[in-house]
Chain A
Amino acid sequence: MSYLGLTKKSRKIKKKKTGPILWVIIVIILAVFFNKVKIPGVSKLVGSITNGINNVGVTIKGISTEGFKYFGSVKKLKNENDKLEKEIGDLKYKLLEINTLGTDNENLRAKLGIKERYNHFTLVYADIIIRNYDNYIDTFIINKGTEDGVKTKQAVITEDGLLGYIAETEANTSKVVTILDPNVSVGVEIASVNKNALIKGDFKLKAEGKLKLTYIPIDTEVSVSETIYTSGIGGIYPKGIPVGIIEKVINKKNEIDRYGIIEPLVDIGNIKSVGIIIN
């Protein structure tokens, strides 16, 4: 049997579905009505309920608004923080850049000094990358090699004077043996008397950063504080490169055994860039 086109079952479902909705509508209408008519008690109760609902709503809205505001401000702070961190990072980078430029400037000045002083030589400029820690030899590695025209047995100098020679080469690096190495000998000229002698690296003097002046010609007056230069004898070191200053002369029974202590002009322990005489 159908009633208004609906079966008994569908009517039941309809009733079940519409029931609560109907009750809600009735409550709302009554609430509105009693709130206007102002029946004591009932209106108060309804007012309390609506007010409560309203308060809950307000509270929820407040929380959500504040929450959004809070999260908004956190986001804002985070953005500001990110921005500040970026600025700090930029400043640190700039500082590092300035420091690097300072060091570069120092190195370039040193190289310019070498260039100005030894403008009659063809030079390749290099930086020291690794120093040896050995007790018996004194060497270091530079960042220029055969690809830059560096060959073995080429003299290595700094702005102040002679440093050593190229012992070994690779494509992009080379090994320099300094004049402090006990195996190194350099032919020098005592300019004031126009006589030749030999400077040698000494195992004992190496730790003090000094050299030994040997084969001082007999009957030659050697004055302390005199600067000595390379003589050009030997083929590795060109003539006229300053090597060091005579610090003292040790006299022996036999004049032939006397020797001098030389203070190198180059501060070998603290140099960073060098020049290699390639021609």
Chain B
Amino acid sequence: MKKTWKSILMLLMIFVAFILQIIMSNNFKLFGMTPNILLVTLIIISMWSEPHTSFIISLLIGVLAELIFNYDIGTTILSYILVSFCISSISKKYRRESKTAVVYMSVVGTSIFLISEYVLYMLEYKKLLNVIVMIENLVVQSLLNIVISYVLYRIFEKQMQENEIIMDYRK
């Protein structure tokens, strides 16, 4: 029952994340960058889940994101999968309830995503891109994602705790 509820909550999170991402992409930019709600959602889900669960979720988010925003299946999926795998592996060492862990995971997740996209982009287009610009992007995007992930995490953590899911999930 709890697992069913958890799955429903995750799917709901993903659905809301897509809606928010579309709204954000169409209307909001900070320092020329749009907050990546999908990435933040994936980081939070990966923190809660085992690697195989987060792999499936990352695949789902990746495929949908590619189809909705890019039209075709591309390299973004690989970046999402890599992020989910790394976060779900690393997060075992940290307390998920810790605020520091959320900040740390956001930075790690964003860094992995942007570096992976950077490398994949260069491989795909056979074009060298400015590393300094990528680092600048990384800093801005990380800051944006820390704020969003913290807010989202607080909301969903409360939800999960109220339903006694977060505590029991890994038992």
Contact = CB atoms under 8 A, between A and B. Distances in A.
Interface in A209-248: 209
Interface string A27-60: 0000000000000000000000000000000000
A130 B25 contact: yes
**Chain A interface mostly:** loop
Contacts of A203: 129-130, 133
A11 interface: no
B93 interface: no
A207 interface: yes
B68 A130 contact: yes
Contact of A134 (B22, B26, B69): B69
A135 B26 contact: no
B118 A170 contact: no
**Chain B interface mostly:** helix
B115 to A, nearest CB: 11
Interface in B123-160: 125, 127, 129-130, 133, 136-137, 141
A198 B92 CA distance: 52
A135 B70 contact: no
B76 interface: yes
B25 A136 contact: no
Interface string B21-44: 110111001011111100000000
A5 interface: no
Nearest to B68: A130
Interface in A65-123: none
Q: How large is the interface on A (under 10, 10 to 19, 20 to 34, 35 or more residues)?
A: 20 to 34
Nearest to B133: A204
A204 B68 CA distance: 26
B76 A134 contact: yes
Contacts of A168: 71-72
Contact of B26 (A128, A137, A182): A128
Contact of A132 (B70, B72, B118, B121): B70
Interface string A236-268: 000000000000000000000000000000000
A239 B82 CA distance: 45
Nearest to A183: B125
18 contacts: A130-B26, A130-B69, A131-B25, A132-B69, A133-B21, A133-B25, A133-B36, A134-B76, A134-B117, A139-B69, A141-B71, A168-B71, A175-B70, A182-B125, A203-B133, A204-B133, A207-B32, A207-B137
Interface of A: 128, 130-137, 139, 141, 168, 170, 175, 182-183, 203-204, 206-209, 269
Interface of B: 21-22, 24-26, 29, 31-36, 68-72, 76, 114, 117-118, 121, 125, 127, 129-130, 133, 136-137, 141
Given A137-B121, A203-B133, 12 more contacts: A133-B24, A133-B35, A134-B70, A134-B117, A136-B118, A139-B70, A141-B71, A170-B71, A182-B125, A183-B125, A203-B129, A207-B31
